[in-house]
Amino acid sequence: MNHRTRLAALAAAALAAAPAAAQAPRTHGPLTFAPRPTTGEITAQDLRTRVYQLAADSMMGREAGTRGNVMATDYIAAEARRIGLLPAGEDGTFFQQVPLVRRGVAEGAALRVDGGPALAFGTDFLLVPTYGSVLRFADRFDARGVQVVYGGRVGDEAGMISPQAAAGKLVVFAAPLGPNGQPASQFYAGGRTYERYADAAGVAFATLDYTSPGLAGFFREPRTELAVAAPVEEGPRFPAGLIITTAAAEQLLGTPLAGAQVGAAGRTATGTGAWFERALEFPARNVVAVLPGSDPALRGQYVAIGAHNDHVGMTHEPLDHDSLLAFNRILRPQGLDQEPDAWTDASRAAFQAELARLRALGPARLDSVFNGADDDASGTAGLLEIAQYFASRATAPRRSILFVWHTAEEMGLYGSEYFTDHPTVPLDSIVAQLNVDMIGRGAAGDVAAGGPGYLELVGSRRLSTELGDLVEEVNRTGAHGFAFDYGMDADNHPQNIYCRSDHWNYARYGIPVTFFTTGGHSEYHMLTDEPQYVEFEKLARVVRLVGAVAEAVADRDARLVVDKPRPDPNAPCRQ
């Protein structure tokens, strides 16, 4: 997701508030930390050493397909080798190359009402990917003299046009209504619409007026995607997708959108658009390693533990770190997962006080690196800690432990998608997958119910009741002391967390999963996600729990029973 546009606007708003006099300083960790030798125990000190290296400015934000991510994956592979893990990537290495390309809309994308004015790409309309388990694209948009028809309002399925009436036409839909009853963007709710109207020439959502500048920029600018050698024939077929302004919709329909009748024919239109692809300068790599199991009868089965090795890179225009940190803490407590609240007198005063406290800790500094300390250097470091813990013991768990540090999670779960589609071990030999992403926070200031024992679980019983019960049992009998929050795992949760991290790509193949996370916070996908704000003692406790769950699964006599329906691996993810 293109975060830079939104960050620039946010920073401008933050800097408009004048700081007040300094107050009592607020304690954070050090800005830098010299690496120390790691041990066979899972400790806060070891995790501090690893996270500070992975999230250092020198890693340049670890964006997949960049020099910084190559540096990070080199570090992970070197640590795996030093610890004593065996390579489980391609050609006897720790790496699996993930074919990413730079993809965008080629010059010349056009849309016009026949006999009328041209609509401007980027302003009046955008070509967008359809949304299944990952972002997918129609080969091209090619509609010549196509009949436009009004399809109704997205979300009102009973009142929408029938698929038969939409076949071969460019179908214009009104924006869905948000919780407040007003039109909203909700682009990612459109997956079912694409499937339902697979035979349409195109589907155009009149949501561009309600789309944030950051999301619009994501669709307007080239981005990195997973290369697809050939269409997946067994997968769902999608029409071309567009998002358009209300004015553009009314030009296409020839009538005000508010008064349009479902199924009514509009004008005819001609549109063209194609996608370009080019190779990246640097490789994108999953890091894959294995600790062989101790039981000859079971070591051919694997408990997979995963994290993602990438983050979102750098911004071209440095921003004032403390101003951004204070702004998000006061007005945007969930980071990029929410739009900032409006200024009030109270929030302005709180911002000024927070900025003053931060200024008391040190001078202002410009920041341009998305360090991704919690997201997901915390999980990446956690896997290395678990690996060193198991490798240092006299006896390994009975089943083998498969460690996969996925790349390109931030771009669309591409590393885990590629690994599960092209596994380096038999996919049916993976008995469970434990995913750790953002496991270093969760304090009361981060989430409403946060604290030392706060931990969110997602997906633990969606395929296997036994796995969910086992996680609870390990937490209880091992005295780990966590109070699990299952709220994010609710069906149809608006944040859709079950579909937003790497565990989903294992679950789609029927592999039981559990996603461990301490939840969102004001530094989510912000320049301020730095190691100094990670709670390393809590991180160590989470990592110990995950290691204990992995060992409990690995040491069972029987595989976990999958007692819930298995999803279609090629269908869109639905929480």
Compute mean pLDDT per 10 residues along the chain, 575 residues long, and list them.
Answer: 36 38 52 96 98 98 97 99 98 97 88 92 85 46 91 90 96 87 66 82 92 82 76 59 94 95 96 86 97 98 99 94 95 89 95 94 93 98 99 98 98 96 98 98 85 96 98 97 96 90 98 98 95 97 99 98 95 88
DSSP symbols for 340-393:
PPPP-HHHHHHHHHHHHHHHHHS---EEEE---IIIIIHHHHHHHHHHHHHHHS
Domains of the chain are 1-30+321-368 (no CATH), 38-98+284-313+370-554 (3.40.630.10), 103-276 (3.50.30)
Residues 13, 5: Cα–Cα separation, whole Å: 13
pLDDT at 130: 53
Rounded Cα–Cα distance for residues 220 and 121 (Å): 8
Residue 258: what pLDDT? 92
- d(CA 329, CA 322) in angstroms, rounded, equals 11
Q: Which of 455, 410, 534 is nearest to 1 (CA)?
A: 410
Burial class of residue 112 in the structure, from the number of CB atoms within 10 Å of its CB (0-12 exposed, 13-18 middle, 19+ buried): middle
| DSSP code for 183 | B
- Answering whether pTM is above 0.85, one says no
What does 68-123 look like in DSSP terms, one character per residue? HHHHHHHHHHHHHHHHTPEE-SSTTSSEEE--EEEEEEPTT-EEEETTSPEEPBTT
> What CA–CA distance (Å, rounded) separates 380 from 395?
24
The Cβ-side half-sphere exposure at 98, using a 13 Å CA radius, reads 36
Nearest partner of 393 among 101, 103, 130, 40, judged by Cα: 40
Name the 3-class secondary structure at 241: strand
Tally of residues, the chain: 575
For 568, which DSSP code?
A: P
Determine how many CB atoms are found less than 10 A away from the CB of residue 557: 7
SS3 510: coil
Alpha-carbon Rg for the chain in angstroms: 25
| Beta strand 285-291 pairing with 95-97 | antiparallel
In the 8-state DSSP scheme, what is residue 253? H
Rounded to whole angstroms, the Cα distance separating 237 from 215 reads 24
**Residue 510 has what pLDDT?**
98
Distance CA 339, CA 123 (A): 22
For 190, the 3-state DSSP assignment is: helix
Q: Which helix (H) or strand (E) holds 493?
A: none
